[in-house]
Amino acid sequence: MIKTKKFLVTYPKEENICKIIIPQSENEVNTLKGKIFAVINCKKNNENNELINFLDQQINKYYNSIFLKLNSRETEKSFEGFLYNLNYNFQNLLEEKQISINLEEINLSIGVMSLDNSGLKYHLYFSQIGALESVLIYQTKNNKDNIAQIKDSTDEDGKIKPTKIFSNIINGKIKVNSSLVFCTENVLDYLNLDKLKEVVGKLNVSKAAKQTESLLLETNDEQIFGGVIIKVLPSTNIVEEKGEKKEQKKKEENITVFQYADKKEKATQQKSKLRFLTKTVKIMKFFLVRLLQIIKFILSGKIFKKTKEIIKNILKKIIALPKNYKSLPWLRKTLLVCSIVLVIFFIGSIVQVKNEKIKQENFKLYQTLLTQIDEKKIELESSLIYSDPSKSSAILLSLENLINKLPQDSEEQKTKLKEIKEQIKKLSFKTKLIEEIISPRELADYSKINGSQISNIVQSEDFIYSLNQNNIFSKLNLSDLSINKIDRADINLPLPISIASNKDTFVVLHENNNLSKFNKKDNKFFPLDIKFREGEVSLAAVTMYGDKLYTLDKANNQIYKHLPSGENFSVGKSWLNEDVDLKKSSSMAIDGSIYILNIDGTIINLFKGKKRSFNFSNQSSLLTGPEKIWTNSESDYLYILDVAGKKVAVIDKKGELIIQYYSEDFTDIKDFTIDENNKKIYLLANNKVFEIEVTHLD
């Protein structure tokens, strides 16, 4: 059992403020399970008042809605998740209120105590910033009180990070008959450890708090003092402590013979009343149980079916009644009407009981689902703190499955579901390392230029070249955002699919295995006539490395290397030296190695014509509609265009996900191009070119 009591000494003119937060449960039995406490000491100003109100609300909400429902094994993870939420919500508070809080002026301890499975010890978990004291008073083997200060473990540089205030969690086991004191630093300046041990160790928690306040008031030094005393007692039966027991015993010894006789008579009367009440309750309980058994029997499968058959037969007879009703005697008519009313009442009662039972079961299931969702959210937040992506992904998946089970029968349930989905969306973004881009910068809208539909873009120097479905090139100047069409002779080519580029040349892959070339220097655009030894090919992608062209053939599971030959390229030479399945391939990029992107989001890494291991496997369907991959020899990353996911994913060349750039504005995505030198991604979506400022290169 845990007993807590705060002590506080304040003065009107004091510049500082001290707040002790100890949430109380409606049922005092919950003190068996555990307690939450917080001690805050800071300068008195409006900003810090906002912080104190925020902490008070968050701690009370967590205690009543989550903590009391946990078992001992869940406490640590739950507390870590709670601290993570505090860090996150604290940042939102600062942004929302547009205030600035000097964390160097804040002294704060926040912790939980929870009974372990043995029921003999309590687990203590707490986090602390600033200068506060934490003291443990415990019994030695000889049943003597001993005292020790609990030292805080801080970061090496000792600085508090605004994004992660509660970063250190101190934990340990507290034995029964031990006491804890969390207080402002100046308390130990006036009360030495021995005095504190004497007061807290020997007195009950209420008297210890009062005695501490009295001793601090005697200092006559107008400082603010505050703290919380926590005592761990053996069981709930110990309501009175030593001093109170002696006092009660002394009172009992002074009772006279007449008082005793009077007490005995009253006790006999009370026992008689109690026996009568007990019998009455037993009788009522007996009839209630029998009634419930009858209802249960009626609602059981066989009897319910039988009852339905009887009711059907009765209804058939009732339907036939009008014909014979007039000829019936008055008494039979009355009995018949009463019978019909009783049958209707009986049927209605059964239906009502059945519906009420279903309603209660649905409500219970709904509440269970909400509790499970809250627990999984806390578990997910804890895993995010420790940067465990595989665990976070698994928890997120189970969380999404739970959410899909939530009913939407009422407006209240629909609103609750919408609220939960918004919360999970934010957690999902953190789990999947998604950075949401709100209102990305729009550079060009090609639908305003003769309504042309752009299919591909490629960036070169200070320009973005675009190719429309009629195979007409345009050039977007990134300096002034002007767009100019490039004159060309009419050529008869199918729809373009993708563009490969080097410093001076673009090679375009068109439908039906057609290829064309565009020279940037003279704006010359013409078809290519490239031969393949295999004859029948099915080209899915092209890329360039220096002045060499590489083409990917799905039909023959082969990649061909083409050397420059005048304005054209040579017959393709097989580059792959082993069997590799390329049937699912959609795009290709090269940096010395060749990376093949498959339509299922998996990536194949090839080097010198052979396949080698690559860690990225698109676990948990991270990429839902991957269509294009990009890299070069100077980049440390692979960029993947996920059309269905409205994003660009960035992974390193070991296969680790780095970040994903997402926006709701990225609809009908067609292509993208990368400019790492200027830390930009240019994306073609909804016939517009958007600019994304990347953060992973900072």
pLDDT at 146: 86
Q: Distance between CA atoms of 458 and 682, rounded to whole angstroms?
A: 9
Say yes or no to pLDDT of 154 above 70: no
Confidence at 116, pLDDT banded by 50, 70, 90: confident
Confidence at 288, pLDDT banded by 50, 70, 90: low
β-pair partners for 605: 595, 612
Percent of the chain predicted with pLDDT > 70: 79
Mean pLDDT of 655-671: 92
Mean pLDDT of 453-466: 93
Handedness of CA 324, 328, 334, 336 (dihedral sign): negative
Is 616:655 a contact under the CB 8 Å cutoff? yes
Is 40:21 a contact under the CB 8 Å cutoff? yes
Q: Distance between CA atoms of 523 and 525, rounded to whole angstroms?
A: 6
Say yes or no to pLDDT of 264 above 50: no
pLDDT at 301: 55
Please report how many Cα atoms fall inside a 13 Å half-sphere around the Cα of residue 244, on the Cβ side: 9
Mean pLDDT of 235-263: 42
Which amino acid is it at 522?
D
pLDDT at 551: 96
What are 68's two structure tokens?
Answer: 């009391």
Confidence at 174, pLDDT banded by 50, 70, 90: confident
Q: 418-437: string of b/e by CB count within 10 Å (b at 16+)?
A: eebeeebeebbeebbbbbeb
pLDDT at 168: 73
Handedness of CA 88, 93, 99, 101 (dihedral sign): negative
Strand order of the β-sheet with 441-445 is 441-445, 688-693, 680-685, 669-675
Confidence at 110, pLDDT banded by 50, 70, 90: very high
Is 163:148 a contact under the CB 8 Å cutoff? no
Say yes or no to pLDDT of 508 above 60: yes
- Packing angle between helix 301-325 and helix 257-299, nearest 10 degrees? 70
Show the DSSP H helices in 66-171 as ranges. 75-97
Handedness of CA 44, 48, 52, 57 (dihedral sign): positive
Q: Distance between CA atoms of 28 and 81, rounded to whole angstroms?
A: 26
pLDDT at 616: 86
Which amino acid is it at 68?
L
Say yes or no to pLDDT of 190 above 60: yes
Say yes or no to pLDDT of 250 above 50: no
Q: Which CATH class is domain 2-236?
A: alpha beta
pLDDT at 620: 67
pLDDT at 419: 87
pLDDT at 394: 81
Pair type for strands 454-460 and 441-445: unpaired
Mean pLDDT of 480-484: 92
Say yes or no to pLDDT of 103 above 60: yes
pLDDT at 155: 44
Radius of gyration in angstroms for the set of CA atoms belonging to the chain, rounded to a whole number? 38
What are 47's two structure tokens?
Answer: 């900003």
Q: Distance between CA atoms of 289 and 494, rounded to whole angstroms?
A: 82
Mean pLDDT of 490-495: 85
pLDDT at 440: 92
Confidence at 256, pLDDT banded by 50, 70, 90: very low
- For 441-693, CATH number? 2.120.10.30
Other beta carbons within 10 angstroms of residue 201's beta carbon come to 19
Mean pLDDT of 612-631: 87
pLDDT in tens, 25-53: 755 444 566 889 999 999 888 888 888 99
Mean pLDDT of 591-604: 94
pLDDT at 604: 95
Mean pLDDT of 503-514: 93
Say yes or no to pLDDT of 671 above 60: yes
Say yes or no to pLDDT of 9 above 80: yes
Question: For residue 562, which phi and psi values (nearest 5 degrees)?
Answer: -115, 125
Residue-range domain boundaries for the chain: 2-236, 300-431, 441-693
pLDDT at 138: 86
Q: Distance between CA atoms of 44 and 387, rounded to whole angstroms?
A: 37
Mean pLDDT of the chain: 81
Is 499:458 a contact under the CB 8 Å cutoff? yes
Question: For residue 193, which phi and psi values (nearest 5 degrees)?
Answer: -60, -40
DSSP 237-271: T--S-HHHHHHHHHHHHT--HHHHHHHHHHHHHHH
Pair type for strands 434-436 and 657-662: parallel
Question: Among 197-201, 384-388, 412-416, which is the least confidently predicted range?
Answer: 384-388
The SS3 assignment for 301 reads helix
Q: Distance between CA atoms of 537 and 575, rounded to whole angstroms?
A: 15
Strand order of the β-sheet with 34-43 is 16-21, 34-43, 107-115, 121-129, 170-175
The pTM assigned to this predicted structure is 0.52
Higher pLDDT, 567 or 321: 567
Say yes or no to pLDDT of 400 above 80: yes
Say yes or no to pLDDT of 609 above 90: yes
pLDDT in tens, 302-339: 555 666 666 666 666 655 555 555 566 767 667 667 77
Percent of the chain predicted with pLDDT > 90: 36
pLDDT at 1: 80
pLDDT in tens, 289-303: 655 665 665 555 555
The SS3 assignment for 424 reads helix
Is 145:201 a contact under the CB 8 Å cutoff? yes
Mean pLDDT of 259-263: 42
pLDDT in tens, 411-440: 888 888 888 888 888 888 887 888 999 889
pLDDT at 102: 84
Q: Distance between CA atoms of 683 and 692, rounded to whole angstroms?
A: 8
What are 461's two structure tokens?
Answer: 């120097």
Question: For residue 173, which phi and psi values (nearest 5 degrees)?
Answer: -100, 135
DSSP 7-58: EEE--TT-SEEEEEE----SSGGGGTTEEEEEEEEEE-SHHHHHHHHHHHHH
Q: Distance between CA atoms of 513 and 572, rounded to whole angstroms?
A: 13
What are 542's two structure tokens?
Answer: 């092209």
Helix (H) or strand (E) holding 683: strand 680-685
Mean pLDDT of 208-220: 86
Question: Among 164-173, 204-213, 404-413, 450-459, which is the least confidently predicted range?
Answer: 164-173
